[in-house]
Amino acid sequence: VFSGNAHTQLAHEVCDYLDITIGKAEVFKFNNDNTFVRILENIRERDVFLVQSISAPVNDHVMELLIMIDAAKRASAGRITAVIPYYAYGRSDKKDQPRVPITARLVANIITVAGADRVLTVDLHAGQIQGFFNIPVDELTAVPMLARSFQERDVSNLVVAATDVGDAKRARDTAHILDAPIAIVEKHRMGNQDRVEAVSLIGDVDGKTALIVDDEIGTGGTVVATADALKEYGAAEIYCSVTHPVLSGDAPQLLEDSVIKEIVVTDTLPIAEEKNTTKTKVLSVAALLGEAIHRIHSGMSVGAMFEK
């Protein structure tokens, strides 16, 4: 298991789970801004896992991953798995306006062309992104882990709220684990801007504890607009559970100032100290990724991890 520079802490924790030492490699930029990678140990015919979350600076981290894949391929690795806890560009997954790219597909293509044999990832923005790859993709989900963290507390009278109609499945999966009903807040995004407006509500939240679920928090606009709408419709307390803490721009302040009581996220992305809020609780996906790597390496079922 080797790590790029995006999230070395997670890669080390994955190795701790696997009880192995992280692979030795140099991954750095020359003065001319060119990225350089050198794998510092023999990996001929080995089963190689390259851990690189596509966190900011997104394009640098994509490039690092591609160059690591190329280095591994040229070092005669037996099999290369790109372990991408957070797959950026996932929101660009369809041509929903004239003359726009499908960047999620483009990134999938270049990862494949670079020489990856498999991909291991967590909660893609849309499941169909798996099909953008012509190599096997194992998509893990943090939904059960996030949901179970709410099982441990007293959230009687709970309702699970989706931030839009497209996210209803995640809400249903969470609600199923927590044995709660769901509500859907219909939202409206202002063109290509990051501003979001919650429009209407499907379901009943009056007097209930609402748990907002989503795949990622970017600017925070979506979950905050959803929380405001839920409050307006009578929700008593509001919690939030999200896999990927992208936390761009003023998101931390927006969340801090919001009506949301607590935000539970995972560590698929590193959270810089200045991006932390007093409301954020972070659960680790290291064991999830570590177990999946163990299963992929030994030919065991990955799906079985989620069967209970």
**Contacts of ligand R5P in 88-127 (CB under 6 A):** 91
Total residues contacting ligand R5P by CB under 6 A comes to: 14
Does position 167 interact with ligand R5P (CB under 6 A)? The reply is: yes
Residues contacting 222, CB < 8 A, separation 6+: 163, 164, 187, 196, 214
Least Cβ distance, residue 38 to ligand R5P (angstroms): 36
Q: Are the CB atoms for 296 and 278 separated by under 8 Å? A: no
Q: How far is the CB of 284 from ligand R5P (least distance, A)?
A: 22
Residue 252 interacts with ligand R5P (CB under 6 A): yes or no: no
Using rule CB under 6 A, residue 268 touches ligand R5P: no
Residue nearest to ligand R5P (CB): 218
Q: Which of residues 207-226 bind ligand R5P (CB under 6 A)?
A: 214-222
Q: How far separated are the first and last CA of the chain, in Å rounded?
A: 28
Q: Which two tokens stand for residue 97?
A: 């306006």
- The residue from 94, 169, 187, 261 that is catalytic is 187
Is 187 annotated as catalytic?
Answer: yes
Are 209 and 183 in contact, with CB atoms under 8 Å apart? Answer: no
Helix intervals (H) in 78-197:
103-114, 143-151, 168-178
SS3 107: helix
> Binding ligand R5P by CB under 6 A: which of 139, 186, 194, 228?
194
CB 140 to ligand R5P: min, Å: 18
Give Dmax over CA atoms of the chain in angstroms: 61
By the rule CB under 6 A, 241 interacts with ligand R5P:
no
CA distance linking residue 247 with residue 293, whole number of Å: 27
Encoded amino acid at 99, one letter: R
Min dist. Cβ of residue 221 to ligand R5P (A) = 4
The site for ligand R5P (CB under 6 A) is made up of 91, 163, 167, 194, 196, 214-222
Enzyme catalytic residues: 187
